[in-house]
């Protein structure tokens, strides 16, 4: 039961109740600080901080990633440059709805298409390098070229980075955004923003290796699935999953690398 007048909620099943902060903390497994920031943004309240420089810098990186995702998604779904990538995704069984839900895109096979797009939108070349979208050079160039792009989104629905998959055969198969002020691969799980509620509901998290495993599982209706960005499971990723469930199922590929990673993952999870 929710009382808008009294600004409180009460669950008579589990006997939990409280204010709007408590509601968000319980529903989304958030800390108070996270709930405060989200609710302040919804209410149009500007939080005063002792030091805003670092926060402002991070916000700019989130903005850059958001614009980059829009660019990649447009190229894939609306531009002739993305036709080959779109056909490849269809051949793997993905639907238009899944492509839209996960914000999948395509990075054109050119050196400065994204860089040029972002520079025209008030972003600076040093910011593009800091975001990991551009590689530092005399004239910065695009990191992701000729690859299908998967935006990596955190539990607050913010794009923190990207993963780029090569079309067809090629090495490396995937490249990721490097370490930035807002992206740490060891603390991140692909698909967590869409899976977190189902993980809580089913009290189980299913961990797979890659982005295609996650998207196709969700499309098939199995939505408590996330990916560890490769087979190297970390303690940081385990801590993130613990916010939503104590139960973990490892579903890596049944090759030597997957088997070895599953054994290491079990040891980390048990610890």
The C-alpha atoms of residue 264 and residue 254 are separated, in whole angstroms, by 14
pLDDT in tens, 12-43: 988 899 999 999 888 877 778 888 988 998 88
Q: Is the pLDDT of residue 238 over 50?
A: yes
State the pLDDT confidence band at 230, using cuts at 50, 70 and 90: low
Residue 53: per-residue pLDDT:
47
By percentage, how much of the chain surpasses pLDDT 90? 73
pLDDT in tens, 64-118: 999 999 999 999 999 999 999 999 999 999 999 999 999 999 999 999 999 999 9
Using alpha carbons, list the distances in angstroms from residue 14 to 10, 11, 19, 174: 9, 6, 16, 44
Structure tokens of 265? Answer: 């993952």
Specify whether the CB–CB gap between 217 and 206 falls below 8 A. Answer: yes
The per-residue b/e assignment along 68-78, b for 16 or more CB within 10 angstroms, e otherwise, is: bbebbbebbbe
State the pLDDT confidence band at 56, using cuts at 50, 70 and 90: low
pLDDT in tens, 136-186: 998 999 999 999 999 999 998 999 999 999 987 778 889 999 999 999 999
Residue 269: per-residue pLDDT:
93
Q: Is the pLDDT of residue 131 over 70?
A: yes
Residue 30: per-residue pLDDT:
76
Specify whether the CB–CB gap between 197 and 30 falls below 8 A. Answer: no
Average pLDDT, the chain: 92
């Amino acid at each position: 039961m929710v009382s808008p007048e009294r600004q409180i909620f009460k669950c008579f099943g589990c006997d939990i109740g409280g204010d709007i902060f408590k509601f968000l903390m319980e529903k989304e497994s958030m800390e108070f600080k996270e709930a405060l920031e989200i609710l302040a943004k919804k209410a149009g309240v500007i939080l005063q901080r002792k030091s805003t420089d670092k926060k402002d810098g991070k916000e700019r990186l989130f903005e850059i990633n958001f614009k980059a995702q829009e660019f990649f998604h447009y190229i894939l779904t609306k531009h002739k440059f993305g036709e080959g990538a779109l056909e490849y995704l269809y051949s793997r069984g993905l639907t238009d709805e899944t492509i839209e839900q996960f914000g999948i895109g395509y990075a054109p096979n050119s050196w400065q298409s994204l860089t040029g797009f972002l520079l025209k939108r008030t972003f600076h070349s040093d910011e593009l390098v800091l975001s990991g979208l551009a590689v530092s050079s005399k004239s910065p160039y695009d990191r992701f070229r000729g690859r299908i792009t998967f935006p990596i989104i955190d539990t607050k629905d913010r794009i923190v980075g990207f993963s780029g998959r090569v079309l067809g055969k090629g090495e490396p198969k995937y490249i990721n955004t490097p370490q930035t002020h807002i992206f740490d691969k060891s603390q991140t799980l692909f698909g967590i923003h869409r899976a977190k509620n189902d993980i809580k509901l089913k009290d189980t998290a299913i961990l797979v290796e890659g982005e295609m495993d996650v998207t196709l599982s969700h499309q098939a209706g199995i939505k408590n699935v996330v990916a560890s960005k490769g087979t190297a499971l970390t303690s940081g990723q385990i801590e993130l999953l613990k916010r939503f469930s104590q139960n973990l199922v490892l579903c890596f590929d049944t090759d030597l690398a997957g088997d070895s990673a599953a054994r290491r993952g079990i040891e980390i999870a048990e610890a």
